[in-house]
Structure formats: structure tokens, C-alpha cells
A and B are shown apart, each in its own frame.
Chain A
Amino acid sequence: MNPSLIDYTLHLADNALIIGHRNSEWCGHGPVLEQDIAISNIALDFIGQARNFYQYAAELAGNNATEDTLAFLRDVPEYKNVLITELPNGDWAQTTLRQFLFSTYQYYFYQQLQNSSDTRLAAIAAKSLKEVTYHLRWSSEWVIRLGDGTEESKQRLLTAVDELWNFTGELFLPAAYETALMQEDIGVDLSIIREQWHQKVQEVFAEATIQIPEKSWAQQGGKTGIHTEHLGYILAEMQFLQRAYPGAEW
């Protein structure tokens, strides 16, 4: 058993679950019906990705772990998602910008993970990449529309950039389990993705007529279980039923 591999798989699962949960909060609240459905679809894609990773992690972990126990019975310090996924949705600009920044990262990440020597991770990456390609297209469109839109939409986008930028650095700062797996040809080399990510973000920002911020300080901790106060609220809502009524089914 490779403990780094379990952590790595959980990290990927948690990323997908938490951003999926955040996006699902828009369900019934989207700005227009069509976009409400779009973001709910994206949320469901993420839940699908999360399930694939959790199932694999449960097999690796053994000890009667299941995808459900991993999702519903771990507390904040055991969650390994990057902080940007757990931030509140804010307005539509903040949600779509977060999706763009994260999907760009996921797009290049999964591209590399497809070549992992771990065939299971490679297969999940190949399957997820198709979904992420669409998420990237959809979210890029919104960043461009809002940035190159009205005065108000641009201002909202700029506020969102300001809000989120400090959380992008963490994506590329490897935790110990990532470094370990990279050396085993299982994990992805984040330094390569960083370049690709930066270039893509630059392209889309240019089309959106906005600038990449100069600041480079990165808030981090999520990958090793040190979270913002927001994750606790997400888990409280998500886990309430299983905590209050253990094993409940319907």
C-alpha cells in the first residue's frame, strides 16, 4: 500500500467534490434558466469525477472504506482540496472566474495524468478530460463576456480577480504526497502545468481586456488539511444526514 497514492487520489476527489458542491449551490438560483442548467450540469460532472476517485481511494485504503465513508465521514483537517474550490460563490463573475481558473488547471493536469503509470488514475483522467474541456470552454466564454462587456460586468470581474488570485498559487505548490508520486511517474509535474496555465489565463484575460495581477503571494494549506473557515460550513451541510442518521439510505 502506498500512502502517498491514497492521499493523492483523495486530494483529486476532494477537489472535485467541493467545487461540485459549490456549483450545485447555484441550482435554482442561476441568472437565467439556461445557465442555471449549465452550471448544475458542471456540478454533476464533478460529482461523477469525485466518485471515480473516491471509489479508487476506498479500494486502496481498504478497512471497509467506501466512497460514501470517504465523502461523508471525514472532517475538515482530513480534506485535501485546494482552497480555491471551497471559497464562497460570490456573484456570477466570481463563480465563473473560479471555474475558469480551476478548469484551466484541471485541463492541463488531466492531460498529463492520462500518461500516469497508474492505469486507474490515467483512465479516470482520460474520461474526465472530455468534461473539463467543456468546462474550460464555457467558463472562458464567461470571463471574456464579462471582462469585455459592460462597465459593471468588467468591474465585477476585476473584483473577482482580486478576490481569487491569491488562491491560484496553491494549485502549483506540490504537497509532499505530490512530490513523492511525481518521482514515481504516477503524479503530475506541476511546474510544467504552471507554465501552460499561465499562458492560457493570459490569452483569455487578454481577450477579456483585463490584466493578470502582479501579486504572486499564495495562500496555501488546503492540500494538507489546513482550510479556510468556509469548508466547515460546506461539510456541515453535506454531511449532516450521515452524521445524524448513520447509514441512512433512501
Chain B
Amino acid sequence: MKQYIKKYYYGDYGEGKNGAADISTSGSSKQEWPLWEVFIRSKQGLDHKHVGSLHAADAQMAIENARDVYTRRNEGISIWVVESKYIHASNPDEADALYDPANDKAYRHPTFYDLPDELTHI
């Protein structure tokens, strides 16, 4: 059975018909720089965390902009950037089908075992 899949990009929602691809606010034909998502690792050994987004002409400028916008106060030791259009997001309209089935199935959580007191960090 063939399913119709619509491609959703991160940031597609609630920005009018063109979504994230249309970031101009003036309505002029001025070309804007693409949007990038920024991920910062705050310490060695921790994961990169999403911190926000910015505009830049290319990857190098995105890294430099991220350095200036998001690491001014010692927030990070490593930066990842990815163009927002490459992030695929789940569709909020499908939230019921995607997440609701997990809501009422408490038995999926391993909370019914009696654990000895000596066991910690479980």
C-alpha cells in the first residue's frame, strides 16, 4: 500500500504558507541567508544540545555566528550547525496517532518491581 508522505521541515509550522523557507519579513525580493540550527556542547563528555537558530550564508559563517551569538558567556567548547531545511520533523497534526497510544499503558514502564533497598541508581 502506497502512503502519501508530505515532507515537513523543522520550523515549517505557523509561519504562513511558505514556512521556514520564507524568512523575509519585508516582502521584498531581497535574498535572505538560510536558517541554521545550532547545537552546543557545554563540556567534554556531554551531548551537543540544541540552543537555537540563526541566519548565515554558509556553514563557516554559521559556525562563526554561532560562536558570537551563543558562546559569548562561556557556554561551550564545541559547535555543530546544520541547515534547518535538513531537519525533518514530525507533524503536529499526527500527535494523537504518534503519542497517544503510549499514554495509558503504564505497564510499559518497569515500575511494578519491588527493588531491594541496597539497589541505587535504578
Contacts and interface: CB of A to CB of B under 8 A. Distances in A.
Contacts of B54: 33-34
A34 B68 contact: yes
A145 interface: yes
B77 interface: no
A180 interface: no
A33 B69 CA distance: 9
Contact of B69 (A37, A137, A138, A145): A37
A145 B68 contact: no
B33 A32 contact: yes
B60 interface: yes
Contacts of A145: 57
Nearest to B56: A34
Contacts of A37: 65, 68-69, 72
Contacts of B67: 134
Report the contact-size class of chain A (Cβ under 8 Å from the partner).
10 to 19
B75 interface: no
A2 B68 CA distance: 40
A38 B55 contact: no
Contacts of B61: 141
Given A32-B33, A34-B69, A37-B69, A138 B64 contact: yes
Contacts of A137: 64
Interface string A116-151: 000000000000000000100110010001000000
Contacts of A89: none
Interface in A180-199: none
A33 B68 CA distance: 11
A42 to B, nearest CB: 9
A38 B65 contact: yes
B60 A34 contact: no
B99 to A, nearest CB: 35
Interface in B46-89: 54-57, 60-61, 64-65, 67-69, 72
Interface string B17-29: 0000000000000
Contacts of A34: 54-56, 65, 68-69
Interface of A: 32-35, 37-38, 41, 134, 137-138, 141, 145
Given A37-B68, A141-B60, A141-B61, 5 more contacts: A32-B55, A34-B54, A37-B65, A38-B65, A137-B64
8 contacts: A33-B55, A34-B68, A34-B69, A37-B68, A134-B67, A137-B64, A141-B64, A145-B57
State the 3 A-B residue pairs at the shortest beta-carbon distance, nearest first. A34-B65, A38-B68, A37-B68
